[in-house]
Amino acid sequence: LHWFIYDYKNGAPFLNEASTQIIRDAISRDRDGITIWYFDDKLTMFERIPIATRNEVTGLSELRKGAISYAAKALTLNQSAKNYQALARYYQEENSVIALEYMIQANALGVTDPLLYNALLFDVSSEIQAAVQSSNDKILTPFITSGLDKKVLIAGSDVLSYAIATNNPDATQILLNAYVQSLSDAQRTNFIQKALLVIARENSEKCLSRLLELGINTDFTLEGESPKSVAEKFGSKKIIDLLNN
């Protein structure tokens, strides 16, 4: 049941737990479908408007926004696992990435909801997969900087390996930039060299061409392997041709 609650005098949601339970009990007795409820400061019903009398899509959007506002203010007052979980639920249809971040916080504080957590992992994975395919910097960079890439697999792979395997140079460049921006020079070099070995293994010639255009050095050996030796090992002919030119 989707709902949101306003103190009609102050235009703000109730935050008191006892008040919340009274309101929930009242709403649970309503069997006429999803409704918008307004309460006064003494918890007597002020006005009730069935969604059926309004535009359905607009009504549901208003309900979600109200619920998010309510839960966010509750979290400000009490950073409990249940409040993090509530925000995860309310954000699920609005922004799965934000929802997953809240659910991870709830898990860390001891509240687990495997069904919701797995659903969010699936939703975020699908969203990031689409972002890789469209090379969407506004989605991919925050995904990396938030650390969610350590939790979410894309088609069974980490996001950078997926971008490389699909031979997407734009997404690969975006992801590499996001990963190395806070690294030292030595760490940055090591990270890019590891990516080059993956590129060689996957025969992703478009990704290699992009890195060559950017002036990235391919003449190196890392843990006994070089881009050329990996390409030869996996039969990556397009990579071998590029490296030989």
Which DSSP category does 222 fall into? B
Q: Is the pLDDT of residue 117 over 80?
A: yes
- Strands 35-39, 5-7: parallel, antiparallel or unpaired by DSSP? parallel
Q: Is the pLDDT of residue 160 over 50?
A: yes
188 within a domain of the structure (yes/no): no
Of 49-63, 87-101, 141-155, 161-175, the one with minimum mean pLDDT is 49-63
Residues 6+ apart with CB under 8 A from 140: 128, 131, 132, 159, 171, 174, 175, 178
Of 19-33, 112-126, 224-238, the one with minimum mean pLDDT is 19-33
164 within a domain of the structure (yes/no): no
Q: Is the pLDDT of residue 45 over 80?
A: no
Q: State the CB neighbour count (10 A cutoff) for residue 119.
A: 16
144 within a domain of the structure (yes/no): no
Mean pLDDT of all residues in 21-34: 48
Question: For the chain, how many structural domains are there in total?
Answer: 1
37 within a domain of the structure (yes/no): yes
147 within a domain of the structure (yes/no): no
Alpha helices in the chain (DSSP H): 17-28, 56-77, 81-91, 96-108, 114-133, 137-145, 159-165, 169-180, 185-202, 205-213, 227-233, 237-244
50 within a domain of the structure (yes/no): yes
Structure tokens at 184: 């030292």
Q: Is the pLDDT of residue 53 over 60?
A: no
206 within a domain of the structure (yes/no): no
9 within a domain of the structure (yes/no): yes
Q: Which domain holds residue 4?
A: 1-63
Q: Is the pLDDT of residue 70 over 60?
A: yes
What is the pLDDT of the chain when averaged over all its residues? Answer: 81
Residue 24: pLDDT band with limits 50, 70, 90: low
DSSP-derived 3-state class of residue 240? helix
pTM for the whole structure: 0.73
pLDDT tens, residue by residue, 125-143:
999 999 999 999 999 999 9
Q: Is the pLDDT of residue 93 over 50?
A: yes
Phi, psi of 5 (to 5 degrees): -130, 130
The winner for highest mean pLDDT among 19-28, 48-57, 66-75, 85-94 is 85-94
